[in-house]
Amino acid sequence: MSLSYPTITRTPFARTSLRAFCAKLLPLVVLFALFVPFGLRRQTISTIGGTNYTGGNGVGAVGAVTFAVQNASGADILLTDIESYWQTAQNGTNTTLWASTSSLSGTYFPIGGPTWTVVGTGTGLAVPANGYYPTITGMTYLIPNGTTVRFVLEGSLGIRYSGATPVPAPSTFTNSGVTLLLGDHQIASANVGYGGSNANAGNTPRWFTGSITFMPAAACVGMPTAGAISGPSFVCSGASTDLQVVGSTVGTGITREWYSSLTPGGPYTTFVGSGTTVNTGPVTSDTYYVCVVTCTPSTLSDQTAEFHLPVTAGVSGTYTIDAGGGGDLLSFSEAAALLGCGVNGPVVFNVAPGSGPYVDRLILPQIIGASSVNTITFNGNGETLEHSPSVTGGRAAILLTGPTL
């Protein structure tokens, strides 16, 4: 018995066709690799590779260092991560990243609202050896195209940075149109980079030593979230201040427009400005603000709750300072700002028992309206005002530059 098998003829057709198909596909793969991932992947700017970025300077108490980021990439970006140089003495430190769109240079003190806003935090940073460590991750802080934002990195167990001797270089690092501004780089004739205690003006120039990671912001879709307005609890008559919208939808296609009214509840017909931060201009009477956040692709909008900005022509009466938020003011710095509007009668500040200690500084210039009748009294109630100066000229925790006792 014999078996017959079908004849199998091999031809190069399939292999040749596959090669042709791959040849046609390859340019598409290359284009995808060049364009799509570029818009999706995270990118990093680092001081590693610069000269004299050693992290050899710093403070051991609660410390801070500043830097700025300029976005000229042509698109909105999201700041996602920050890495910094640390020493083992900071093992276990808690970190905070603050941002400001108005304090772009000069001293960072005091650190707090409305000038500075918390955009990221980290807890219990592990520092087994001196070196660079991811410090705050997973952020989605929006830096719109064409804007500059300044940041303060704060460490609860100290901070490390570089400078002033030997001088680090360069003071700018750029990647894809985004520039990290450091040290003696100047905006409005003042240095960007300061470092030292978080409770005084700090030292300058000082150079942040580490890296930032960012990515393009995705386009908005559907109904945006307006967020809430952050601002001061008052403004002096005739003065101006900055207001900021926080917690709103981020992404390309988002617009933020501000309106005001002299009547609570509106109508809000006076256009104030555009952006995440807006300056009120001179304010002479109580004013009410809203921010309208619009997703341009969907044409849908959301409006914040109303923000009331009281105007103070001069103060009198009794106020409570309570860092926990249970009083009228959060800090001694806020009390000093309130007195900056002048007084029209006796003023008493009571510090809430058990609310301290306060890491702050009280600086009182000449106060309009103060006299032997219109006195100003601070009742500390046993609480402590702590101040850790890093420069000789900033030693005083309580500095009277104008008042007489």
Domains of the chain (ranges plus CATH)? 44-216 (2.60.120), 228-309 (2.60.40.10), 314-400 (no CATH)
The pLDDT value recorded for residue 4 is 44
Residue 29 clears pLDDT 80, i.e. is over it: no
DSSP 8-state assignment for residue 402: S
The pLDDT value recorded for residue 241 is 87
The pLDDT value recorded for residue 276 is 82
Q: How far is CA 26 from CA 22, 36, 197, in A?
A: 6, 15, 56
> 157 pLDDT band (50/70/90 cuts)?
very high
User: Among the ranges 108-122, 275-289, 379-393, which has the highest mean pLDDT value?
Assistant: 275-289
The answer to whether the beta carbons of residues 280 and 241 sit under 8 Å apart is yes
Question: Mean per-residue pLDDT for 297-307?
Answer: 97
Strand locations in 188-253 (E):
190-191, 195-197, 210-216, 228-230, 235-236, 242-246
Name the least confident of 66-70, 237-241, 301-305. 237-241
Question: Mean per-residue pLDDT for 343-363?
Answer: 91
Reduce the DSSP state of residue 69 to 3 states and report it. Answer: strand
- CA-based max dimension of the chain: 130
Residue 203 clears pLDDT 50, i.e. is over it: yes
Residue 388 clears pLDDT 80, i.e. is over it: no
Strands 159-161 and 147-155: unpaired
Give the CA angle between residues 107, 109, 113 to the nearest 5°: 120
The pLDDT value recorded for residue 37 is 40
Helix (H) / strand (E) containing 338: helix 332-339
Q: How far is CA 346 from CA 15, 369, 378, in A?
A: 95, 10, 11
Helix (H) / strand (E) containing 227: none
Question: Mean per-residue pLDDT for 121-150?
Answer: 93
Burial degree of 220 (CB within 10 A; 0-12, 13-18, 19+): buried
Residue 170 clears pLDDT 90, i.e. is over it: yes
Residue 141: how many other CB atoms lie within 10 Å: 19
Tell me the DSSP string of 15-61. HHHHHHHHHHHHHHHHHHHHHHHHHHS-EEEESTTSBS----EEESS
The answer to whether the beta carbons of residues 161 and 206 sit under 8 Å apart is yes
Residue with the larger pLDDT of the pair 51 and 3: 51
Residue 36 clears pLDDT 70, i.e. is over it: no
Name the least confident of 28-32, 196-200, 288-292. 28-32
Q: Which residue has the tokens 């000269």?
A: 51
Q: Which residue has the tokens 């914040």?
A: 304
- Nearest Cα neighbor of 115 from 258, 290, 274, 242 is 242
The fraction of the chain above a pLDDT of 90, given in percent, is 57
Residue type (1 letter), 327: G
Residue type (1 letter), 257: E
- Rounded CA separation 338/332 (Å): 10
- Rounded CA separation 141/361 (Å): 30
Residue with the larger pLDDT of the pair 344 and 27: 344
φ/ψ of 370, rounded to 5, equals -70, 140
> 363 pLDDT band (50/70/90 cuts)?
confident
- 198 CA to centre of own chain: 15
- Rounded CA separation 221/36 (Å): 19
The pLDDT value recorded for residue 125 is 95
Residue 263 clears pLDDT 80, i.e. is over it: yes
Is the pTM value of this prediction over 0.85? Answer: no
Question: Mean per-residue pLDDT for 211-217?
Answer: 95
The pLDDT value recorded for residue 404 is 54
Q: How far is CA 50 from CA 54, 167, 170, 259, in A?
A: 9, 11, 6, 45
Question: Mean per-residue pLDDT for 150-157?
Answer: 95
Residue 130 clears pLDDT 70, i.e. is over it: yes
Name the least confident of 17-26, 28-37, 69-78, 176-185. 28-37
Question: Mean per-residue pLDDT for 39-61?
Answer: 89
Edge-first strand order for the sheet with 277-279 is: 228-230, 242-246, 277-279
Residue 241: how many other CB atoms lie within 10 Å: 18
Give the CA angle between residues 156, 83, 153 to the nearest 5°: 40
First-to-last alpha carbon distance for the chain, in angstroms, is: 126
- Rounded CA separation 349/338 (Å): 11
Residue 26 clears pLDDT 60, i.e. is over it: no
The pLDDT value recorded for residue 272 is 95
Helix (H) / strand (E) containing 180: strand 178-181
> 164 pLDDT band (50/70/90 cuts)?
confident
